[in-house]
Amino acid sequence: MQAHDHTASGSPHDWWEARYAERDGIWSGRVNAVLASVAGGLRPGRALDLGCGEGGDVVWLAEQGWEASGIDLSATAVERATRAAHAAGVAERTAFVAEDLATWSPTGSFDLVTASFLQSWPVAIPRAEILRRATGFVAPGGHLLVTAHAAPPHGDLPEELRSYRFPTPAEDLDAMELGDGWEVVAAELRPRTATTPEGTAHETVDSVVVVRRR
């Protein structure tokens, strides 16, 4: 996510719609590196991407042979994701829905549930609750991967956003409230070099949690 100068107001839905309306293509369209490394080691099956944005991760998963679905609050983002899947020739292996993960539940379960940077500032979302509910979407033997910004992705946040608390791997793991039927595959910080919108390199760090339902 890129730092910006909005002030907090309204619902997460309205805030994200307004953000996507600012311009076409607010993300790179490329797969997130953590997802590529985790999913690259799994046998393709059914995947679900939480907060899919413009669909870069879903399109990549479909290209690897997954039946991949994406959910996002923003209808504009979902429309762009659908277009991206058509452009990549994987539309028949993808599905996108504009829904709120605070309340939405899928029919059926998934071999991989992934969330890349499902974070919202300055308008907060019930993220812990969403992660806990997401465990219920995972099929036996399936994985849940949560990648989050654990530090500002592009340098300092603007003053009005400095109260945002970045999640740690332990906090995201706690939020999942896993019972005995789960194995923790990874819960760690991973350093990463990000490129700012101005094109300069910036060192940041991601929180990566991978759990597997037995």
In the complex, the smallest distance separating the C-beta of residue 214 from ligand SAM, rounded to whole angstroms, is 27
In the complex, the smallest distance separating the C-beta of residue 150 from ligand SAM, rounded to whole angstroms, is 14
Contacts made by residues 5-14, CB under 8 angstroms, sequence distance 24+: 5/158, 5/160, 6/122, 7/122, 7/160, 8/122, 8/123, 8/160, 9/123, 10/123, 11/123, 12/73, 12/100, 12/120, 12/123, 12/124, 12/125, 13/73, 13/74, 13/100
Tokens coding 133: 């509910």
In the complex, the smallest distance separating the C-beta of residue 181 from ligand SAM, rounded to whole angstroms, is 26
3-class SS of residue 201: strand
In the complex, the smallest distance separating the C-beta of residue 145 from ligand SAM, rounded to whole angstroms, is 12
In the complex, the smallest distance separating the C-beta of residue 8 from ligand SAM, rounded to whole angstroms, is 14
- Which is nearer to ligand SAM, 115 or 211 (by Cβ)? 115
- Which is nearer to ligand SAM, 132 or 182 (by Cβ)? 132
- Which is nearer to ligand SAM, 164 or 182 (by Cβ)? 164
Give the E-state strand segments of 150-195 in sequence order: 182-195
- Which is nearer to ligand SAM, 165 or 214 (by Cβ)? 165
Q: By the criterion CB under 6 A, which residues form the site for ligand SAM?
A: 1, 12, 16, 27, 32, 51-53, 56, 71-74, 77, 100-102, 116-120, 125
Distance CA 214, CA 143 (A): 9
- Which is nearer to ligand SAM, 118 or 194 (by Cβ)? 118
